Amino acid sequence: MVFYSSWFKLHHPAAFCAGLLRAQPMGFYSPQSLVADARRHGVVVHGADVNASLGHANLEADGLEIRMGLADVKFIGTTLAQKIVDARDAHGPYTSFLDLTGRVELSVAQAEALATAGALGCFGITRREALWAAGAAAGERPGLLPGVGASTKAPALPGMTDLDLASADVWATGVSPNSYPTQFFRDRLDSLGVVPANRLLKIPDGDRVLVGGAVTHRQRPATAGGVTFINLEDETGMVNVVCSVGLWAKYRKLAITAPALLIRGKVQNAEGAVTVVADHLQLMDLRVASRSRDFR
């Protein structure tokens, strides 16, 4: 099974990732980590779109790219996502926000979530314009005369930065398909001397380093004698961190609750597998962070 999975990921990385996304919830890796890994292997990932997405992740561009599913958007879910797809298949692509809500009933929260996720960009409107229109659009109902509610035309609104877009993606879907949070802070991290994950292999065994990223996992295996393992992720890859019993006791509250950490420690670099043995933990302020997957 390991061989076949490795072969499939190597030769069909988009299909491999899409299959894992469709199998959520799984156990170890979050959708954010799966998408980030696929992107690091050259896969283009597109966000959800009411005129392009299926209910769950699917393939585009002859199987080389991934389109996120509508069911992944907050408040949408599998049943409503399928209704959106079915109405599109039956009567053609949606032509506007009002056309969508005139065919499929949406609550204000659901309309706002689609807008925040960028799933309405096919209508030629920005996310902020879509959010402005969400309340009025949600007032439309299938079978009612269209356009009798409040106007959906938005005034001139400021644009969103790349960080704003990533924050919106993570809030709405848990995944930022075009970026990873740490990349927006790379200049500041570089100034602190933080070593990116993809450079750790070049650090000699025994050197002390500073690493940082979003916390993706915390584990304390029963066979590890109380040692806790933390996985950090940045835009270049993952870092495996070992926390001794004493260190964990010293930083316990921070280690358990922080969504992102700066960790200082000594490199163990043997046979191509790099681990950082931590001696200091510090909160890392990331505006965008994914929820970690913790196991005991």
Both tokens of residue 221?
């295996």
Average model confidence (pLDDT) for the chain?
Answer: 90
Residue 43 makes CB contacts below 8 A (sequence gap 6+) with 13, 14, 17, 64, 65, 66
Q: Which residue, 224, 236, 240, 233, is CA-closest to 277?
A: 240
Q: Across residues 212-237, what is the average pLDDT?
A: 90
pLDDT of residue 290: 55
Rg of the chain on CA atoms, in Å: 22
Q: Which residue has the higher pLDDT, 144 or 116?
A: 116
pLDDT of residue 225: 81
Q: Helix, strand, or coil here: 158?
A: coil
Q: What is the pTM of this model?
A: 0.84
Domain boundaries, the chain: 2-173, 181-295
Superfamily of domain 181-295: Nucleic acid-binding proteins (2.40.50.140)
CA–CA separation, 188 and 225 (whole Å): 36
Q: Helix, strand, or coil here: 205?
A: coil
Task: Tell me the pLDDT band of 27, cut-offs 50, 70 and 90.
Answer: low
CA–CA separation, 69 and 81 (whole Å): 8
Q: Please, are residues 59 and 66 in contact by the beta-carbon 8 Å criterion?
A: yes
Please check the confidence at residue 156 and state whether its pLDDT lies above 60. Answer: yes
State pLDDT tens for residues 248-271.
999 999 999 999 999 999 999 987
Please check the confidence at residue 43 and state whether its pLDDT lies above 80. Answer: yes
pLDDT of residue 296: 41
CA–CA separation, 115 and 237 (whole Å): 30
DSSP string, 220-244: --GGGTT-EEEEEEETTEEEEEEE-
Q: Which residue has the higher pLDDT, 205 or 142?
A: 205
Q: Which CATH number fits domain 2-173: 1.10.287, 1.10.3470, 3.90.1690, 1.10.150?
A: 1.10.150
CA distance to 79, 134, 269, 281, per residue, from 173 (Å) = 16, 18, 36, 29
